[in-house]
Amino acid sequence: MARKIRVRNHRVVLNRSKGGDAGITIFLILLGIVMFLPMWYLIITALKPLGERNITPPLLYVMKPTWQNFIDLFTNMNSTWVPVSRYLFNTIIISVAATFGCLVLGSLTAYALSKIKFPGRVVIFKLIQYSLMISSTVAGITNFFIFVALKWLNTYWISIVPVWASTLGLYLMKQFIDTNVSDEMIEAARIDGAGELRIYWQIVMPLVKPAWLTLLVTTFQSVWNAGASGYVWSEQLKTFNTAIANISTVSVGASSAGSVVMMSVPIIIFIINQAKIVETMGSSGMKD
Amino acid sequence: MKKEKVSAVTEERQSYGYGGKPMTKGRYIRIQMKRTWQGYVMVAPFMLMFIAFTVAPVLISIALSFTSFNMLEWPEWKGLSNYIQLFLADDLFITAFANTMLFAITTGPASFILSFIVAWFINELSPRMRAFVTVIFYAPSIAGTAYLVWGIFFQGDIYGYVNGWLLKMGLINAPIDYFRDVRFIVPLCIAVALWTSLGTSFLSNIAGLQGVDHSLYEAGAIDGIKNRWQEAWYITLPSMRSILLFGAVLSITGAFGFGGIVNALCGNPSTDYVAWTLQHHLTEYMSTRFEYGYASAIAVVLFAIMMTANMLVQKFLSKVGQ
């Protein structure tokens, strides 16, 4: 029997049955609907005028889309004693500060671990790899003691500084430098008299742009989405997450609008950087 | 590979020596350290943070778990009594333990398999289509509070979408309060967790699949591979082993770090504690009862489970495709 050979995206594709293709397409479409429907529902709820929200059963489309919920979110809710814009401001400040610190520390460390052969680097990297295996809950108790000792309770610091020690972005970046920057090049730069900081900043960083963009995006996403810390009780210091939860008891429309604002920022950032991020993930493999 | 590295180092060490004698190991390391001091300076700020917020806390928790500590008095040594109490006298801990295991055993493997399968299925789409589909599947994991929409979806009154439709079709007579009903809480929480679970490991799978050497597939076809499933098992999976390992680590961490979703959707505590996890139990003893020794013991148990799960999965994954 002749082997069936088909071409897909300019590549020869072997061993693909029509039935399998159809099954996979159906599976993907169904799963895609399940994944997308809740987001769709959120978006249309945010766009629905009050009258349409109270139809039972609710409709999956909007008859008269309105921006009223978004306007409510930023005008009406701004007249409460802590305005919504303040929560949003907090989230932005925390996300930017945490991400920036993480980028600086993470990239420096990733470079040093990858390209400076100092004794002990293997152990350090092993530790970092192990830290990916535990969730931060485990460290929560002692972190609380540290916050108390540093008098950080009820400040921004609590949400910013621990992020600087996060390891996922650093791990990805180190792996990426390992696979994409050759030791020879660094060695040549050293012989030419470049200091380590200069090599890091002028040679490695431009070469691994996808990796630090990925570090930037993943860190930003996690901080942006992080729930309110239990150790911050001043309403003025809480984040947009808290505001959405508070508003949801008052107005479903405004809180949906808030959720849409909340989710669109990381999603848009991801869409812009998708190619670079996927490129970085190519070297994410973990050797045992 | 490893052997070569060691011998290269030894060789270098020998070349430094004089009189035909290799330099001693200690001296060699000291010279290396001096030569690469900049490396230590560069990792120092991060390591300081990392030790303060991750390494030391784990070690301190292990130490505290053998004590009774309330932050006002110096910790009092209690030996194993915290652990004995946990496993023998604390019914709620057993519930939390069982629930955590249930959530982890369902969401962990499911999210791991799902993120591979979806990545694999979309691998042959055109690049543009693949990028589009990736966004659809990845978005829920970065959409922040968007999972709260499941609460609106399954709202307990007649305005909820699901209740509205079921009532209209006459399948139920009264609205069901899904996130308060013990029959629905656990499956719904698992579903929501899976909905948000196509995250970083999904992306790394996509990248890994793109990186598989295409000539392997052609060689495989000549060697008698008959369909895509065999191809996946014998070629794709083995050549992606390190990526799969990375994905597994993230899936496990995610599966044990449950809790936030449960609090937001079902309230805290959930009805009859059906969704009470170790994380809840830990928070309860830490933030409400201020029994830090006991809370540390819970943290250590959680830590031990996560480590064990990772070791088992690594063992298992090393056998894929063999």
Q: Are residues A141 and A10 in the same domain?
A: no
Sign of CA dihedral B110, B115, B117, B122: positive
Q: Are residues A133 and A260 in the same domain?
A: yes
32-61 in chain B: CB under 8 A from chain A: 32-33, 36-40, 42-43, 45-47, 49-50, 52-58, 60-61
Q: Are residues A211 and A174 in the same domain?
A: yes
Alpha-carbon distances of A248 from A93, A195, B264, B294, rounded to whole Å: 24, 55, 12, 36
Residues from chain B that touch A233, judged by Cβ atoms under 8 A, are none
Q: With 70 as the cut, is the pLDDT of residue B1 above it?
A: no
d(CA A41, CA A43): 5
Q: With 60 as the cut, is the pLDDT of residue B238 above it?
A: yes
Instruction: Specify the CATH number for the domain of residue A239.
Output: 1.10.3720.10
Residue B191: burial class (beta carbons within 10 Å; 0-12, 13-18, 19+): middle
Q: Are residues A105 and A243 in the same domain?
A: yes
**Biggest CA pair distance of chain B:** 95
| Interchain contact, A285 vs B150, CB within 8 Å | no
Q: Stretch B196-215: mean pLDDT, rounded?
A: 88
| Interchain contact, B54 vs A139, CB within 8 Å | yes
Helix (H, G, I), strand (E, B) or coil at A67: coil
Q: Are residues A244 and A126 in the same domain?
A: yes
Query: Has residue A71 been placed in a domain?
Result: no
Q: Which domain holds residue A30?
A: 5-66
Q: Are residues A137 and A91 in the same domain?
A: yes
Q: Is the peptide bond prior to B269 cis by the omega test (within 30 degrees of 0)?
A: yes
> Long-range contact list for A19-22, CB < 8 A, 24+ apart?
A20/B227, A20/B228
A276 → chain B, closest CA residue? B207
Q: Are residues A112 and A209 in the same domain?
A: yes
Query: Has residue A162 been placed in a domain?
Result: yes
Q: Out of B138, B203, B245, whose CB is closest to A285? A: B245
Pull the structure tokens for residue A211: 């990796």
Neighbouring residues of B208: CB distance < 8 A, sequence distance ≥ 6: A281, A282, A284, A285, B119, B240, B243, B244
Which tops the pLDDT comparison, B132 or B288? B132
Report domain extents, chain B: 80-317
Neighbouring residues of B77: CB distance < 8 A, sequence distance ≥ 6: B66, B67
Q: Tell me the average pLDDT of chain B.
A: 85
Q: Are residues A109 and A10 in the same domain?
A: no
Residues from chain A that touch B242, judged by Cβ atoms under 8 A, are 285-288
Confidence (pLDDT) at A288: 58
Residues from chain A that touch B53, judged by Cβ atoms under 8 A, are 139, 143, 146, 161-162, 165
Confidence (pLDDT) at A96: 93
| Interchain contact, A108 vs B42, CB within 8 Å | yes
pLDDT tens digit sequence for B10-62: 666 666 666 667 777 888 888 888 888 889 999 999 999 999 999 999 999 99
Of the candidates B205, B214, B62, B89, which has an alpha carbon nearest to the alpha carbon of residue A141?
B62
| Interchain contact, B43 vs A124, CB within 8 Å | yes
pLDDT tens digit sequence for B260-314: 778 778 877 777 788 888 888 888 888 888 888 899 999 999 999 999 999 998 8
Alpha-carbon distances of A97 from A111, A150, A193, B4, rounded to whole Å: 21, 19, 34, 44
- Residue A6 main-chain phi, psi, to 5 deg: -125, 155
| Interchain contact, A278 vs B207, CB within 8 Å | yes
Q: Are residues A46 and A124 in the same domain?
A: no
Q: State whether residue B200 sits within 8 Å of chain A by CB.
A: yes
Q: With 70 as the cut, is the pLDDT of residue B251 above it?
A: yes
Neighbouring residues of B156: CB distance < 8 A, sequence distance ≥ 6: B163, B175, B176, B177, B178, B179, B180
pTM over 0.90: no
d(CA A132, CA B19): 47
Residue A12's H or E segment, with its range, is strand A11-14
d(CA A98, CA B238): 38
Final residue before a domain boundary, out of A21, A40, A66: A66
Q: Are residues A226 and A93 in the same domain?
A: yes
B201 → chain A, closest CA residue? A281
Final residue before a domain boundary, out of A44, A66, A88: A66
Residues from chain B that touch A282, judged by Cβ atoms under 8 A, are 204, 207-208, 210-211
The rounded radius of gyration (Å) of the Cα atoms in chain A is 24
Q: Are residues A160 and A239 in the same domain?
A: yes
- Residues in chain A where the model's pLDDT stays below 50: 1-2
- Our count of domains for chain A comes to 2
Find the DSSP H helices in A48-182: 50-53, 68-74, 84-115, 121-131, 140-149, 157-164, 168-180
For B80-317, which CATH superfamily applies? MetI-like (1.10.3720.10)
| Interchain contact, B46 vs A109, CB within 8 Å | yes
Confidence (pLDDT) at B162: 83
| Interchain contact, A11 vs B214, CB within 8 Å | yes
Q: Stretch B214-237: mean pLDDT, rounded?
A: 85
d(CA B247, CA A244): 32
Q: State whether residue B216 sits within 8 Å of chain A by CB.
A: no
pLDDT tens digit sequence for A96-114: 999 999 999 999 999 999 9
Q: Are residues A122 and A53 in the same domain?
A: no
> Mean pLDDT lowest for which of B85-99, B141-155, B281-295, B302-316?
B141-155
Confidence (pLDDT) at B318: 79
d(CA B299, CA B285): 11
Residues from chain B that touch A215, judged by Cβ atoms under 8 A, are none
d(CA B254, CA A77): 34
B227 → chain A, closest CA residue? A15
Q: With 90 as the cut, is the pLDDT of residue B320 above it?
A: no
